[in-house]
Amino acid sequence: MSHDHSLYPETMPQNPEKATLEGKNKFLGLWFFLGGETVLFASLFGTYLALKDSTAGGPSSEELFGLELVFIMTVLLLTSSLTSVYAMYHMRNNDFKKMQLWLGITALLGIGFLGLEIYEFSHYITEYGFTFRSSAFGSAFYALVGFHGGHVTFGICWIIALMIRNARRGLNLYNAPKFNTYSLYWHYIDVIWVFVFTVVYLMGKVG
Amino acid sequence: MTENTNTKTNKNLDAFQKRKNKEEMKRQLISFGLMIVLTLIAFAVVATGAIESMFVIPLLAFLAVIQVAFQFYYFMHMKDKGHEMPTVLIYGGVWAALLTLAGLALISWW
């Protein structure tokens, strides 16, 4: 399996992302990483829940958050999760061009999400004076939501790098695991966002 | 394993496999629809304020857990064969995450 010729096969196996030892290792390694990320985000969520009422006289979560923007961001990220499923569907059908197209759409949706998040943060800072340093609530909020945003930023850079690096190479057993690893990571970002919009925004509105 | 049994050329994938992939894609679309519905319910409950806050928070947590299960089992293929180890790893992470939350709850509200 690890011979060079098997990386550019005449025939593609049914699961090109797991056909090589390298691919299997990447697959397990990423899931191991996601298990660790779960713990990391749990500690950020726990910190946020403990500190969210310590506003130091600043605006509370009920006054700050608007549901409309968060809803649009949620739909953007959830749709980008679906488009990366489409990309992996085309990968399994060995259709490189369509895979690249759907990955491109995924990246654009991710950029849209990030743009809205930056707008949201700048709105809080300029309109409310709500910053990382203004209260314990502010620190916990920007640490948690910003860390998620950082993951989105990293994911966008990752996929753009993969798309450019492999643009002329086409799909083979060398890069199929790379695309698959990225798509799992991207889904995981959406998993985290489900908890962010639930715990931070929706529960923050309820009080 | 079924890998490398396909003898057709690169562009001409096994028709059976293509069909299977298509059916899988249909299931993915259905789970996407359900996830959108779950999201809509969660936002609608909060926006209308129809339910008392004491019940809203457990309901929201419940909706989030279902949506995440869809994401893991369908979008990330954890329902498929050969995902025993990922299941162990992610539930291991969830277990450690719950311990972390319990520890933080203990020191904040004791």
pLDDT for residue B3:
46
- Residue of chain B with shortest Cα separation from A29: B86
Average pLDDT over residues B29-58: 92
pLDDT for residue B8:
43
Separation of alpha carbons A87 and A179, rounded Å: 9
Question: Does residue A94 sit in helix, strand or coil?
Answer: coil
pLDDT cut 90: percent of chain A above it:
83
Task: Verify whether the Cβ–Cβ distance B47 to A67 is below 8 Å.
Answer: yes
Nearest in space to A191 (alpha carbons), one of A81, A46, A112, A40:
A81
Encode pLDDT of A129-173 as tens digits: 999 999 999 999 999 999 999 999 999 999 999 999 999 988 888
Is the minimum CB–CB distance between B57 and chain A shorter than 8 Å? yes
On the question of pLDDT at A7 being above 70, the answer is: no
For tokens 């090589």, name the residue. Answer: A20
**Residue A3 falls inside a structural domain:** no
Separation of alpha carbons A69 and A45, rounded Å: 21
Would you place residue A1 in the very low, low, confident or very high pLDDT band (cuts 50, 70, 90)? very low
| Cα A160 → chain centroid | 14
Instruction: Provide the domain limits for residue B85.
Output: 81-110
pLDDT for residue B54:
86
Within a 13 Å sphere around the CA of A38, how many CA atoms are in the beta-carbon half?
Answer: 21
Instruction: Provide the domain limits for residue A199.
Output: 16-42+58-206
Assembly ipTM: 0.87
Identify whether residues B94 and B53 lie together within a single domain.
no
Q: Report how many domains make up chain A.
A: 1
**Residue A2 falls inside a structural domain:** no
Q: Which residues of A touch B42 (CB under 8 A)?
A: 197-198, 202
Q: Report how many domains make up chain B.
A: 2
**Residue A36 falls inside a structural domain:** yes
**Side chain identity, residue A160:** I
Q: What's the whole-model pTM score?
A: 0.91
Separation of alpha carbons A190 and A77, rounded Å: 6
With beta carbons less than 8 A apart as the criterion, state whether A91 and A180 touch.
yes
Is the minimum CB–CB distance between B48 and chain A shorter than 8 Å? no
Q: Which residues of A touch B82 (CB under 8 A)?
A: 18
Identify whether residues B63 and B85 lie together within a single domain.
no
- Indicate if the alpha-carbon torsion angle A29, B97, B69, A191 is positive or negative: negative
